[in-house]
Amino acid sequence: MRSLVIGQGLLGTALIDALCEAGHDTVGTSRDPLGSHFYLDMLKPIPELPLVETVFICAAVSSYRLSEGSPDAWVVNADAPVQIVRQCRERQVQHQGSLTISSVFPVFVSSAAIEYMSTAYTRMKLYAESCIIPMGGAVIRPSKFTAENVASLCHLMIRVGSDRKPGVYRWP
């Protein structure tokens, strides 16, 4: 599986490591235009994504305090993920070397908190889910993850990305 991982925080970094360890061809993103990763700043127009089979959207302004009333948080947590998934769904059959992609499968990391809290952050995630699920994407609703348990979440994400079955997945 060739994958793009958007977001280089705790989860995105761990997911890249887990994908590489599992033998997957993996591309990470960076907001540094001179960096070695694919340049993607979610606060700017979304560029054409590289040719991959699966896109994992892990980027978020996850602080409840920082999300409240922040237009940047709305873009990162809601608008940009929806734009990325639209691009994934619109991609037609493409060829690059021996790789043929008929569509790109999106996996969006949301929050289990949307089921029991109403904050700016959870409303943003819920909006993104309400757009992404009908477009055939997968949504992961993790509970709080830490450096100690993030590997388990990464394994679920890899399985969901490999299976390519839309829907909502709760973790743990």
Cα 87 to chain center, whole Å?
Answer: 13
User: In CATH, what number is assigned to the domain containing residue 32?
Assistant: 3.40.50.720
Question: What sign results for the dihedral spanned by CA atoms 95, 96, 100, 105?
Answer: negative
Counted domains in the chain:
1
Render pLDDT for 77-111 as a digit per residue (tens, 0 to 9). Answer: 999 999 999 998 887 555 556 655 567 899 999 99
Sort 69 into a burial class: Cβ within 10 Å, 0-12 / 13-18 / 19+: exposed
pTM above 0.85, yes or no: yes
pLDDT-derived band at 152, boundaries 50, 70, 90: very high
The number of angstroms, rounded, from the C-alpha of 156 to the middle of its chain's C-alpha atoms is: 13
On the 0-12 / 13-18 / 19+ scale of CB atoms within 10 A, 50 is middle
Alpha helices in 10-63 (DSSP H): 10-21
- Domain that residue 147 falls in: 2-171
pLDDT at position 29 is: 94
